[in-house]
Structure 1
Amino acid sequence: MSWALRFLGVGNASAVELGSPMSVIEHGGLPWLTIDCGGEGLTAYRSHYGAMPGALFVTHIHLDHVAGFERLFVDAFFNPQRRGKVRLYVPAPLVPLLHKRVGDYPNVLAEGGANFWDAFQLIVVGDAFWHEGVRLEVFPVRHHWPETAYGLRLQGALVWSGDTRPIPEMLARFAGDNELIAHDCGLHGNPSHTGVDDLEREYDTATQARMMLYHYASSADGAALRARGHRVAMPGECVVLAEPTAPRAELFEG
């Protein structure tokens, strides 16, 4: 069955019209794993799929990536079929940050009697994790402060950089199987994000040719990135992925 990546939002924190940077790995036309949970991105998810996500990976805790969690809590907690079953794959160093940002409130419901994590199945992850029998890899990226942001690899199909400065050393290790690379890039860089000059300086042309850029500041900036020869993601765009070569659980059975 075919694999694809759907960009729900592609903008930076101020580019509301482009949506918060969030995507979905699809398998057989259905949502398989959602990356992040921004406010505008969650709205786009529900608009497209007619429901809320059932499994998410969290890259980091800036609000444009986690602001949708209160809505997701309400959707899951008040649905007996979903309560405690929405999977959240969270890199271990991010768990206390996520709890402080979205889970640590005296009464998550006005009536009391509920904990934020009651709605979810929190799965703390390290260098790799299994989702529906497929192994995904996790790696640290360069986003403002060490051990606060992570990328994701579905071997042979996709590398999602998350918000980051250039990470050629990580892509040399985690993007060596001809994966599509979805990479943070704006027209101008800063200490937390890649600018196009950084991208062109740090990566060779063969690596750049496999990239789709997201997390830019405006439609005009997206057009400027395209004018420089780069492939730039658009909100709602769906890209076919290669069949993953990642290990699968059935290989180890019997």
Structure 2
Amino acid sequence: MSAAPDVPGRWALRFLGVGNAGAAPALGSASALIERDGVPQLMIDCGEYALDAWLARHAGPPPALFVTHLHMDHVGGLERLFTLTWFGGDARPLLYVPAALLPHMQARVADYPGILAEGGVNFWEAFRLIPVSRGFWHGGLWYDVFPVRHHRPDTAFGLRLRGSVVWTGDTRPIPEMLAVQAEAGELIAHDCGLVGNPSHTGVDDLEREYPDTLRSRMVLYHYGSPEDAAAIAARGHRVARPGEIYPLGPPQPVETQG
């Protein structure tokens, strides 16, 4: 049966930041918001500079976040977000985290013996933590979660809102995955630098691994400098800039067993 409701409105992807770890001070930490009628529905990743970009537009913390992986340019803002939430008296943000990441996330951001000098609080008390595997429901819509190719297996994940957007997160090319996860006409936000490496896609990789039909729907982020962005764009690719907004198709219902 059709499990997701028909959600009206104008949907968009707003890039909070587009840079890799070295370029984040200038280009922002790679992160985005999925919005409906200008209202944030879900924030993707929370690097230090991503939280700055969020707070430049909003007074309180984001209502919901999805974490793709645990490099600090993607989760470095979480401790600050803990402080903002705990002392701000705001509702606890929903935090969707792939279950495979939880042991590493606990060790990396939550296991310090005493998150506050005064004690009496655990890191996760500031959030509503929801472990996810193949996907999750949020706002009445189903979001698919899928593994990508970034360092060790099962340490980085992409996100899909069917019919609207696919966010690859940091990854090498994943044509076999996008053949399934981007088959409904979605905008594809894809990791791409000027030169690839064993953990990230380069523009040569992108052109070699993907057909024109997929590349035509891509917008590229996680590059190293404005000059790199210009060089990638000069090869005919669409490149995201900080603060840019891309319109999305309306989310499509998913079929579930029930």
TM-score (structure 2 length as normaliser):
0.94
User: Partner amino acid for 2:38?
Assistant: G
Question: Contact conserved, 1:9 with 1:41, CA < 8 A, in 2?
Answer: yes
- 2: distance between equivalents of 1:100 and 1:237? 34
Query: Residue 172 of structure 1: which of 171, 174, 179 is its match?
Result: 179
**Match of residue 75 from structure 2:** 66
Tell me the equivalent position of 2:234: 227
Q: Number of aligned pairs?
A: 248
Taking only aligned residues, the RMSD between alpha carbons, in angstroms, comes to: 1.3
Q: Aligned residue for 1:236?
A: 243
> Aligned partners of 1:246 and 1:65: how far apart in 2?
29
In 2, are the aligned partners of 1:149 and 1:162 still within 8 Å (CA)? yes
Note if 1:47 corresponds to 2:56.
Answer: yes
Aligned to 1:9: 17
Letter in 2 for 1:71: R
Which one scores higher on RCO, CA 8 angstroms, separation ≥ 6?
A: 2
The partner residue of 1:25 within 25, 34, 38 is: 34
1:50 CA drift (Å): 3.1
**Alpha-carbon distance in 2 for matches of 1:17, 1:81:** 30
Gaps of 5+ in 2: 1-8
Amino acid at match of 2:11: W
In the alignment, the residues of structure 1 paired with residue 114 and residue 143 of structure 2 have an alpha-carbon distance, to the nearest angstrom, of 35
CA distance in 2, matches of 1:97, 1:4: 31
After superposition, give the CA deviation of every residue in 1:152-183 in whole Å (9 maximum; x if it has no partner): 00000000000000000000010000000000
> What is the identity percentage for the equivalent residue pairs of Structure 1 and Structure 2?
59
TM-score, normalised by the number of residues in structure 1: 0.95
- SS, match of residue 99 in structure 1: helix
Distance (Å, rounded) in 1 between the aligned partners of 2:75 and 2:253: 27
SS at 1:117 equivalent: helix
Do residues 134 (structure 1) and 141 (structure 2) align? yes
Asked if the contact 1:135–1:248 (Cα under 8 Å) also holds between the matched residues in 2, the reply is no
**1:248 Cα deviation after fit:** 9.2
3-state SS in 2 of match to 1:90: strand
1:103 to 110, 118, 135: 110
Which 5+ residue runs of structure 1 have no aligned equivalent? none
